[in-house]
Structure 1
Amino acid sequence: MHDTTDPVANLQALVACPSLTPAEGGALALLESMLVPLGFSVERPVFATEGTPDVENLYARHGRNGPNLMYAGHTDVVPPGRETAWTHPPFAGTVANGELFGRGAVDMKGSIACFVSALARLEAEGRLERGSVSLVITGDEEGPSINGTSRLLEWATDRGERFDAALVGEPSNRETLGDMIKIGRRGSISGRVTVEGVQGHVAYPHLADNPIPGLLALLSGLIATPLDEGTDSFPASNLEVTTIDVGNPSTNVIPASVSAGFNIRFCDVWDGETIATEIERRLAAAAEGITGRGERGALSYRLDWVGRISPVFLTRDDRLVETLAGAVERTLERTPELSTTGGTSDARFIKDYCPVVEFGLVGQTMHKVDERVPLSDLEALTRVYMDFIVHWFA
């Protein structure tokens, strides 16, 4: 085993594990081998749900006394894409020009490597004796997110585990390490609108019913007016049409049906129920007066909500936020912005158990070809985590 106080060595070892979601790929086994010598008890439960892949997860705890500080993250990664496009192999962990290349280097094996290094250094110095530290690590964040963090937290709670605060190591920084801490996230909801028509020859439109104009009118009704202007804590909500699907390869055939998918990132003006009601209202209003062949009145359409709703949340725990911000300021001499921008993360599950904040690496290369992280950022993030752990327990 390599020296776990070194975040570069930790990350190289983790990147070498091809843990393409939802495969464990050896990453959780490697993490267990790093944590056990530090005095952690480790369990790796596997959860299954019909229709989704089985997922192996990891729960580790150091100490049995409170308070209990949680670190949460994921070892699963997205596919590398065309590997020949990479400057260095995506699972080699190559160091070149002061940077470490590899899939997951930023999102988010790099953060895990740094947190383990912080723990290893504190343990070596005898400074990991107050309270408890727990790691909640999933292999399902980049996938359906069904058999991962949410199930792992339920499992741990059923066993009597309780958490006082949580740090998620997602890449939270935009341009420079220390420029942003996530203290909340907008909600997310996805839907699909379908309009049925009558297939026919384009030269005989009176014998057919083209569903595309009706769908375009419905989509115009959805996006014509902004959902809101945002609030003091959150940017404005946005609705984005993500796909329009006709499935018609012919230029001389009027299609039988058409559908469009959309996603909304909503601020705290809304919750899941009220944003869904607003979308239903907008569609109904847009459908009025649109007639299909042989029909009178409103256009007929179908709205299906896809997946589960991610709720909006804001962390108001001043001690947690101020301790992390203080660690950034003391270590990096930079005052981080407290932000709720960006997409969703597993913090949406954790917020039901304890206050949660997010702080990790700079996210500019995540999910890209040549994903990479400066070695200096790995050392700096390790020192931020050390400072945060010590001051939070103090």
Structure 2
Amino acid sequence: MSQDLRSGLVELTSRLIQFPSVNPPGYTVNIASFIRDWLGNLGFSSEFREYAKDKPNVIAKVGRGRPVLILNGHMDVVPPGDESRWAYSPFSGKVVEGRIYGRGATDMKGGLAVIMMVFTELAPIIEKRGSGTLILSATADEETGGHPGVEALVRDGVLIGDAAIVAEPSGSHRYYIGEKGLCQVKLVTRGRPAHGSLPILGDNAIMRLVRAIGKAEELINEFNRGIKLPSELMDAIRNSAEVYLEAARASGLNLTLSDFERVVGTVSFNPGVVRGGSKINMVPDYAELELDMRVPPGVSPSQVINYLRSGLSGAADVEVLDTSEPNYTSPNESIARLVHEGIERVLGTTPKPIIVTGATDGRYFRARGIPTVVYGPGELAMAHAYNEYVTVDDLFRTHDVMVYVVRRFFGIEG
């Protein structure tokens, strides 16, 4: 990687951070226009695809025919929070001692800059050789579900290919092959109101909810004992547990490897929001809990919901809030093997495939049957944090690996 490319990648990452594409509201007009102009100045045409007002997606394609490789990154970022807690302005893109600071530096303006650079470097070769099609997609709304972003683009056939790389932060020495699914439900209990001084005349919905929460936790623990995980993912689950354990120990938490193996390989249980009652001297007749659960590969959210409904019958109603299926790409798929090989050959280290507990836009590609790997600069622990940064070295390393992978994918020597 030449010095000009290196400085260009740092400058591009910093410039992307300077667009405050905060979600909500998640407007991407300004940053999308910058990307379109940046590509245009280098001789590449691109188009806007907009499914929600002021949230355009940018799509650029080169080459023809198959195979088709998609390089994807999202443009939106989470809010910066209390700006007084930042060492540098959250949208400065300031470069200090080998780090580029700002909201979205890790999640994922750094990854977006990498795939933009890789696209413009290799597109002329792919175009000239006619060895397939390379697609760059800078997309909207990932931080709130990706519905007018990757989900819509895949649904409409705009983003369809033989493989995809999503440049979310994995760190240059790791790659993600899958993610847990989402299962968010509401537990609702109802009672009978009465004066608080005579609670015996009423039926307290909050007390009913407390008992229902305890029962729900027992049911999930029982459900987890019967889970059978896909055998080809066992190494990835252990790898994931090791990564999370390392981060926990760095934070001073006294947890074990088996603790995190359970977190990755079972249905998690997190009561997130409780509501109930309207006045201290009234027996409440209504209470509810918003319950967040993450579901491992091999399990469907519908199985979890049905199990809860059966076990809580008569104790609480179970209402569905949001779900998404767990998903993964086999570590034996060509794109996964290429990324693995790229990290080994370029960085000289043995990488480990990971299953993550959160969700990315990769789930929409996988749902369409597109083998997908998440690989990009930055550490997951930095995402959404104060003083978020991406290191310059990690940008360079992921760039070089990505170039290797894309070249090999299209059979380009050199």
The normalised TM-score by structure 1 is 0.86
RMSD of Structure 2 on Structure 1 (CA): 2.2
Distance 2:188 2:136 in 1: 43
Amino acid at match of 2:48: R
Q: Corresponding residue for 1:146?
A: 147
Q: CA offsets per residue over residues 181-221 of structure 1, 9 Å max, x none?
A: 11122221110011122333322102222111211221112
4+ runs deviating over 6 angstroms: none
Superposed, 1:187-198 pairs within 5 Å as: 187-198=181-192
Contact 2:308/2:318 (8 A) holds in 1: no
Shift of 1:84: 1.3
Identity %: 26
Residue 348 of structure 2 corresponds to residue 311 of structure 1 = no
Contact 1:39/1:62 (8 A) holds in 2: no
Contact 1:4/1:116 (8 A) holds in 2: no
Q: Which of 12, 16, 19 lines up with 2:18 in the alignment?
A: 16
Q: Corresponding residue for 2:207?
A: 213
Residue 317 of structure 2 corresponds to residue 280 of structure 1 = no
Q: Corresponding residue for 2:339?
A: 324
Shift of 1:168: 0.7
| Structure having the larger proportion of residues in helix | 2
Distance 2:319 2:309 in 1: 10
Contact 2:276/2:288 (8 A) holds in 1: no
Q: Which of 206, 214, 223 lines up with 1:227 in the alignment?
A: 223
Shift of 1:4: 6.8
Shift of 1:238: 2.3
Q: Which runs of 5+ in 2 are unaligned?
A: 238-263
Residue 224 of structure 2 corresponds to residue 199 of structure 1 = no
Q: Corresponding residue for 2:388?
A: 371
Shift of 1:247: 4.8
Q: Corresponding residue for 1:341?
A: 356
Q: Corresponding residue for 1:171?
A: 169
Distance 2:45 2:63 in 1: 9
Query: What SS does the corresponding residue of 1:193 show, helix, strand or coil?
Result: strand
Residue 289 of structure 2 corresponds to residue 260 of structure 1 = yes
Distance 2:34 2:369 in 1: 27
Q: CA offsets per residue over residues 328-385 of structure 1, 9 Å max, x none?
A: 1112112111122321111111111411111112222110111101111111111111
Contact 1:107/1:366 (8 A) holds in 2: yes
Q: Corresponding residue for 2:30?
A: 26
Q: Corresponding residue for 2:137?
A: 136
Distance 1:226 1:236 in 2: 14
Contact 2:309/2:317 (8 A) holds in 1: no
Shift of 1:116: 1.6
Q: Which runs of 5+ in 1 are unaligned?
A: 285-297
Contact 2:272/2:292 (8 A) holds in 1: no
Distance 1:122 1:45 in 2: 24
Contact 2:333/2:371 (8 A) holds in 1: no
Q: Corresponding residue for 2:48?
A: 44
Distance 2:42 2:66 in 1: 18
Distance 1:201 1:332 in 2: 70
Contact 2:126/2:132 (8 A) holds in 1: no
Distance 2:157 2:5 in 1: 26
Contact 1:168/1:356 (8 A) holds in 2: yes
